[in-house]
Amino acid sequence: MSRISEHPILGKKEKGREVEFTFDGQKMKGFENEPIAIALKANGVMIHRYTKKEHKPRGLFCAIGRCTDCVMVVDGKPNIRTCVTPLKEGMVVNTQDGVKAVGI
Amino acid sequence: MKRYEVIIVGAGPAGLSAAIEAAKKGLKVVVFDENDKPGGQLFKQIHKFFGSKEHHAKIRGYKIGEELLKEADELGVEVVLNATVVGLYPDKEVNVRINDEIHHFKGDTVIIATGASENMVTFPGWTLPGVIGAGAAQTMMNLHGIQPGKKILMLGSGNVGLVVSFQLLQAGCEVVAIVDAAPRIGGYGVHASKVSRTGVPFYLSHTIKQVHGEDCVTGVTITEVDDHFAPIPDTEKFFEVDTVCMAVGLSPMSQLLKMAGCVMEDNPKRGGQVPIVDEYGETSVSGIFAAGDVSGIEEASSAMIEGKMAGVCVAEYLGYIDEEEKDSLLKVFDADLNSLRQGMFAPKNRGKLIESTEEGIEISKNLLKKGYVKDDEIERFPGVVHKSGVHPVIECTQNIPCNPCQDACKKGCISTGKNITYLPFVKDGSECINCGMCVASCSGQAIFLVNEDCGDGSATVTLPYEFFPLPEVGTVGYGLSRKGEKLCEAEVVSVKSVGAFDHTNLLTMKVPKEYAMKARFFKCS
C-alpha cells in the first residue's frame, strides 16, 4: 500500500530515519520507530500469521494493540503485536505459524 | 507502593480533561495510559468538531488533543505511558503493568476514563487480512501516513463510518460504497452529504454476505435485507475491493469498574455494560468516578465535559474546594453538556425515526436513505435562499447542536436563532462580502457561496474543498450534483487557502446558471 506523501489536512508526515529489516529472510526498508506493521504494509505484506488449528491467514485488524491478530515472531520472540511495536534497525521479522515462526 | 490523590486511567479527552481540572485545584494527579502516546483517539480525528465555542467547535480533533496535552503539561500532570492498568481493587488499589513488571499504586480517588472498543460483525471471510476496523483505518492514514487500502467498502453509516469514509477519500483511497443494515443513515446528514457529493453510493438495508479471497481480500458481496434483517434472495451485488472497513459501533471498556465492584447495568442506549453513575459520574463506590465513553458512548466533546465534571468532584471530595465552588463550576459544565445533548441525534433520541425538524420542516427522506438532499427537497430549508449577487446557501437540514456559522460571519448574515440546534438561516437585508468564512467554518461542509446569475449565462459556486491535488484556477472539469453525478462543464475561477480557513480550501467554479442550485462539487476532467 502507498504511503501518503502529502495529506490535505496533515501535510507531510515526519518520519524517523530509514532503516533496514528482514521479513521472512527478505530485506525490507521502513522508518525507525514506526510500528512494524506499518512498515510491512508499505512493503505490501498482508499476512502476519497463520492460525494454529486451521492454518488460516490473519493480518492487521485493529491497529491499536487490542485484537492480537497481527502478532508475529520478532527477533525470535513470538506473539509480538506488530501494530504497536516500534521498528528498529536490523529487526528480524517472521510470519508466525501457530505460536512459532513459519518453517521452524 | 506509591500513593496519589487521584489516579486517572486513560489519557484520552475525558481523562486529560479530568486531570487538568483536578490539577488546577492543586491535586497530585497521575494518568496511566496503555498506549505509547497520549490523547486517545483525538489525534486521529482530523475533521472540525461540531458544537459551540465552549465545545471547541470548528477546531480539528488533533488540535484539541494538542491543546489538552499542553495544558496538562503546564499544570504538572504526570502522564505515564505504556502503562496498562490491569487491576482495580477495594480501597482503590491499582495494579499497573509497565514494561514486563506489575506496579502497585493507591489512589485516594480514581477516575476511570478508559473509553470504548470497536464492535465487529462476523460474516464469511471476516478474518481475512484486509478486513479492518474503522479505527485501524484512521490509525494507519492519520497517525502513520499510510493508505489502509486502494479500494474500500465501508460497513456502517454512523458518524464514524461517514467521517472515516471522508478521511479515506482525503487519504487518496477510493470508497466504493457505504453499506448499512439499518434502513436509515445513522450519522449526521451533513457528513453523509459531503461523501455523497464526491460520488460514493450508499446502500441502506444492505449487509455483507461474504468477503472473498484466499490470502487477503479480493472482493465483497453485499445483499439487501428485509425489515427483520433477513437477506432477500437475488439482491446480491459484488464489489472488487482490497479492503473492507467496519464501523459498526462502540462498546464501553468498563471491565475495571466491574472489577472494582461498581454496580453495573446492561444499557443498550449507552452502548452495553456501563456503571450506574450519578449525574457527575460518581459510581456506586464512593470516590470512584467514570467519565467519557466508558459510562455511555457519546462523543469526544461530551467526554471532555464529563472529564471536567469528574475532576471538580474529586477536588471537592478531597477537600480542595468547598461544595459551593463545586456547584458553581458544575453548573457551567452542566449547561455545556446539556446543550450538546440536544437535537435529533441526542442520546435520548437514539434509534428514533424523526420525521420533521424542530421548526416543523419535513426531513429529507432521500438524505436518510441515499445520503443527499434531492433538488426538489432542498428549497424548503431556511438556509437555502435566492438573492442577487453572491450569498450563502446553507444546506443544513437537521437539528444538530452547532453554531460556528453564525460566529464566522463578521457581517452578521447568519443566525441559528435562539436555540443552538435550530437550522441556520440568512438574515433579511444582510450583506454578504464573499469572505468565505462561513464556508470554511462549517464543520459539516454544508455552506456554499452562490452567485446565481453572473450576467453572462453563468453562475459561480464556492465550495469547501479538502482534497489533494488542489485544482488550479483555469482547470476545466465537471460540476457534480449532490449525488456526485456529472451535471455540467465547470471551470475553476478561484481557489482561496488562507490560515483562518484551517486547511479547508475554498474552490469557486463557474457553471451554467441553471446549475447554480444543483452543482455542489468539482471534479477534474
What average pLDDT does the segment B431-456 reach? 97
Measured distance CA(B235)–CA(B248) in Å, rounded: 22
Chain A contact probe: residue of B139, B174, B502 with most A CBs at under 10 A: B139
Give the number of beta-carbon pairs within 8 Å between A and B. 99
pLDDT in tens, B232-271: 999 999 999 999 999 999 999 999 999 999 999 999 999 9
pLDDT beyond 70 at B431: yes
Report chain A residues whose CB lies below 8 A from the CB of B128: 57, 59
Q: CB–CB of A7 and B170 under 8 A?
A: yes
B181 in Cβ contact with B153 (< 8 Å): no
**Cell, residue B297:** 458512548
Residues 6+ positions from B234 with CB-CB distance below 8 Å: none
Q: Out of A95-99, B337-341, B346-350, B470-474, which region has the weakest mean confidence (pLDDT)?
A: B346-350
Tell me what pLDDT residue B54 has: 84
User: DSSP assignment of B436-452, as one string?
Assistant: -HHHHH-TT--EEEEES
Output the average pLDDT for chain B: 96
Nearest one of B192, B191, B150, B157 to B171, comparing CA atoms:
B150
CB neighbourhood size of B291 (10 A):
33
The x, y and z cell numbers of residue A31, run together, are 522508518
Given the DSSP bridges, would you call strands B151-155 and B131-133 parallel, antiparallel or unpaired?
A: unpaired
Nearest-CA distance from A75 to chain B in Å?
17
Contact between B459 and B511 under an 8 Å Cβ cutoff? The reply is yes
Average pLDDT estimate for B27-46: 96
Taking only the tens place, the pLDDT of each residue in B290-337 is 999 999 999 999 999 999 999 999 999 999 999 999 999 999 999 999
pLDDT in tens, A79-100: 999 999 999 999 999 999 998 8
User: Can you tell me the distance from the alpha carbon of B245 to that of A62, in angstroms, rounded to the nearest whole number?
Assistant: 10
B501 Cα to chain A: minimum distance (Å) = 11
pLDDT bracket for residue A1 (50, 70, 90): low
Is the pLDDT score of B435 beyond 90? Answer: yes
Q: Contacts of residue A9 in chain B, CB cutoff 8 Å? A: 46, 60, 170, 466, 503
pLDDT bracket for residue A13 (50, 70, 90): confident
- The interface predicted TM-score of the complex, written ipTM, equals 0.97
User: What part of A 4-63 touches B (C-beta under 8 Å)?
Assistant: 4, 6-10, 13, 15, 34-35, 38, 41-42, 46-48, 56-63
Q: What is the pTM of this model?
A: 0.97
Q: Which three cell numbers stand for residue B40?
A: 486517545
% of chain B surpassing 90 pLDDT: 96
CA distances from B420 to B247, B417, B445 (A): 28, 7, 17
Average pLDDT over residues B442-471: 97
Statement: residue B93 has pLDDT above 90: yes
